[in-house]
Structure 1
Amino acid sequence: MTTSSAGLTAPFALARFRDGDAVHLGLVAGDRIRELSAVDLGAADLNAFLGRPDWERLRALVSGDGPWMPLADVVLTAPVVPRQVLQAGANYRQHVIELVVAGLTQDDTRTPEEARAFAAKLMDDRAANGEPYFFIGLPTIVVGDDVPLVLPGYSDVHDWELELAVVIGTEAYRVSREDALDHVAGYTIVNDITTRDLVFRKDMKEIGTDWYRAKNAPGFLPTGPFLVPAPFVDGGDLDVRLDLNGETKQDGSTSDLLFDIPTLVSSASQTTVLLPGDLLLTGSPPGNGQHWRRFLRDGDVMTGTIEGLGTQLVRCVAEGAAAATPAASAATGANAS
């Protein structure tokens, strides 16, 4: 696969690239990449750097004569090594309105227009008086787009959910909304793959949702290809688009978030300590496969782009059509130091 910085507008970003069985941290500037040593970082590893990010230190390297390589000559993997993955559900206003309307219009006492007005009021009330809904994912399923997405054979309804992901910097615990962005190191792209028929338990409906089974198969969190420093990103107003085999399926903006990034970081930190390098997913805009009644198949190619953060390319293969181990081994590599 040819690695490209297409869609990356920041003067520099971080990435991680493969060299045989090893994974190295790199600095990306335009169409070039160079390996970053602990001396370059001024820190022992990526997460230690993110805990006290010194972006000016890296900016000084961009104009240097260091060991630069063409970006097209390397294979990138996930740009982060999270210890925790937190995910915000039902956080795009228009997306949730569509879901509510789809349910309400089954009741013929409401017209579609009445159902939409009811759903819009419901979401506005939630944004004003409610709080974010979080669940957790496994950091071991974080992979790069350097391996195919193996679609487990136990279901035919694997779905896409392109999301902006916050990368935590300085440790955050019970921080205020006003101080929350001080704890954000940067942003990256995540495709939160979901097996729809496993979301709700059929054996005991009272239990509710089962996010563990629905979202945590090997490789179900393609991430990257870049970690873009927070100073270069306005996370509150970014275009989010996913194309499936060249056809646009999701096309939204983070300006439609019910709970914005400072609120998400602050709210998540009230319960647990957010650690440097952790991922906080912000939700997915309308246009999932469930909406289109079209789910992922062998041979599908997803192209996910978030404004300024680059482009992610994910190739899908049916289980059995390719070895199921690459995603698992990639996860191991993605979480290596």
Structure 2
Amino acid sequence: MTTTSGHLAAPFAFARYRDGDAVHLGLAAGDRIRPLAPEDLGAGGLNGFLAAPDWDRLQDIAEADGPWLPLDSVELTAPVEPRQVLQTGANYRTHVIDLVVAGLDKDDPRSPEEAREWAGRMMDERREHGEPYFFIGLPACVVGDDVPLVLPGYSAKHDWELELAVVIGAEAFRVSRDAAMDHVAGYTIVNDITTRDLVFRRDMKEIGTDWYRGKNAPGFLPTGPFLVPAPFVEPANLKVRLELNGKVMQDATTDDLLFDIPALVSAASQNMPLLPGDLLLTGSPAGNGAHWGRLLRDGDVMTGSIEGLGTQVVRCVGEGQ
């Protein structure tokens, strides 16, 4: 059974679902889903379609009779097949201000309010004159919420970071901010799991961060349930919410992004071409486990939702349990 709400808000969206050992690409519309073959897409597969999406073609399919199934009768998995995953760090203004203020020296003479104002001015200066901060994730970590999140036994400090993820359409290489949205095919939800005590190297602090070990374990990028086409999403002010065992931990909107989506796509495309189907994560708002002093445990259930993109439910299992 699908772990989504069972109904899609957008007129239609891509999803992928299991049929025994096979995984099929499907078109979800309302509370139904149907398989999509290459002849339906007019392309060899999902990424081929995203390279030059024809949304009218899919609208016609969504309105037609055919082999529809109840959406809640299938098990959804990750709706994308990226070749590259780029992740954005320190990109929610309030979250970064919280981190800066929390890291101030205890002898700092400023009040918390003065420190927040100072940190806010720093963030505004960064937004005006700085650049986004990217690192690379492994596509093999992308899974659906049909796969339990196994918490590796080498740490007890695994954390959540719910994020809006951009799905690239037409290849983007050194595109401008003004042209960037022409290369966005759609959006999905990603929970960027992080092992906190592996992010910074202890053996040689001068090296700095170790994102490979800190973020790339099996299943550390729960994704989906849907790939919602860009024409149906206004990404500038979406609600982002994560609950842990029913308690709200993250609750923000994307209008707090330091660098918006055109800025992110443009900056990320300056080094390497972004390919159709690639994921570009936009950063996570305040409220992760490190903030609350409560990290993931065996038996935890994370319910993550982004306005208009559905809901994913990720169940945590301790390694060896």
TM-score band w.r.t. shorter chain: over 0.9
Amino acid at match of 2:143: V
Give the Cα separation in 2 of the matches to 1:22 and 1:107.
60
1:246 Cα deviation after fit: 0.4
Aligned partner of 1:110 in structure 2 is 110
Are the counterparts in 2 of residues 85 and 278 from structure 1 also a CA contact under 8 Å?
A: yes
Coordinate RMSD, CA, aligned: 1.0
Deviations 1:39-95 (CA, angstroms, capped at 9, x unpaired): 100000000000011111000011111100011111110000000000010000000
Aligned partner of 1:134 in structure 2 is 134
Give the Cα separation in 2 of the matches to 1:31 and 1:3.
13
DSSP 3-state at the match of 1:95: helix
Give the Cα separation in 1 of the matches to 2:280 and 2:48.
18
1:105 Cα deviation after fit: 5.3
1:106 Cα deviation after fit: 2.6
Give the Cα separation in 2 of the matches to 1:148 and 1:182.
35
Aligned partner of 1:335 in structure 2 is none
Aligned partner of 2:176 in structure 1 is 176
Aligned partner of 2:36 in structure 1 is 36
Are the counterparts in 1 of residues 26 and 33 from structure 2 also a CA contact under 8 Å?
A: yes
DSSP 3-state at the match of 2:242: strand
Aligned partner of 1:331 in structure 2 is none
Are the counterparts in 2 of residues 7 and 305 from structure 1 also a CA contact under 8 Å?
A: no
Give the Cα separation in 1 of the matches to 2:120 and 2:211.
26
1:8 Cα deviation after fit: 3.3
Amino acid at match of 2:58: L
Give the Cα separation in 1 of the matches to 2:7 and 2:106.
41
Aligned partner of 2:239 in structure 1 is 239
Aligned partner of 2:146 in structure 1 is 146
1:75-94 to 2 correspondences below 5 Å? 75-94=75-94
1:7 Cα deviation after fit: 6.8
Aligned partner of 2:70 in structure 1 is 70
Amino acid at match of 1:70: P
Aligned partner of 1:305 in structure 2 is 305
**Which consecutive unaligned segments of at least 5 residues does structure 1 have?**
322-337
Amino acid at match of 1:81: E
Aligned partner of 2:195 in structure 1 is 195
Give the Cα separation in 2 of the matches to 1:292 and 1:33.
38
Give the Cα separation in 1 of the matches to 2:213 and 2:4.
33
Aligned partner of 2:314 in structure 1 is 314
Amino acid at match of 1:236: A
Are the counterparts in 1 of residues 304 and 313 from structure 2 also a CA contact under 8 Å?
A: yes
1:4-83 to 2 correspondences below 5 Å? 4-6=4-6, 8-83=8-83
Deviations 1:180-202 (CA, angstroms, capped at 9, x unpaired): 00000000000000000000000
Give the Cα separation in 2 of the matches to 1:146 and 1:241.
20
**Residues 238, 7 of structure 1: CA spacing in aligned structure 2 closer, same or farther, 3 A cutoff?**
farther
Aligned partner of 1:95 in structure 2 is 95
1:147 Cα deviation after fit: 1.0
**Residues 240, 3 of structure 1: CA spacing in aligned structure 2 closer, same or farther, 3 A cutoff?**
same
Aligned partner of 1:333 in structure 2 is none
Are the counterparts in 1 of residues 222 and 314 from structure 2 also a CA contact under 8 Å?
A: yes
Greater than 4 Å deviation, 4+ residue runs:
none
DSSP 3-state at the match of 1:18: strand
1:295 aligns with 2:295: yes
Deviations 1:91-128 (CA, angstroms, capped at 9, x unpaired): 00000000000011533422211111111111011001
**Residues 35, 143 of structure 1: CA spacing in aligned structure 2 closer, same or farther, 3 A cutoff?**
same
Give the Cα separation in 1 of the matches to 2:2 and 2:187.
22
Aligned partner of 2:270 in structure 1 is 270
Give the Cα separation in 2 of the matches to 1:47 and 1:2.
23
Give the Cα separation in 2 of the matches to 1:108 and 1:263.
34
Give the Cα separation in 2 of the matches to 1:74 and 1:318.
26
**Residues 27, 7 of structure 1: CA spacing in aligned structure 2 closer, same or farther, 3 A cutoff?**
closer
Are the counterparts in 2 of residues 86 and 279 from structure 1 also a CA contact under 8 Å?
A: yes
Are the counterparts in 2 of residues 4 and 31 from structure 1 also a CA contact under 8 Å?
A: no
1:260 aligns with 2:263: no
DSSP 3-state at the match of 2:53: coil
**Which consecutive unaligned segments of at least 5 residues does structure 2 have?**
none
Give the Cα separation in 1 of the matches to 2:82 and 2:168.
9
Aligned partner of 1:122 in structure 2 is 122
Are the counterparts in 2 of residues 7 and 307 from structure 1 also a CA contact under 8 Å?
A: no
Give the Cα separation in 2 of the matches to 1:3 and 1:219.
16
1:3 Cα deviation after fit: 4.1
Amino acid at match of 1:75: E
TM-score, with normalisation over the residues of structure 2? 0.98
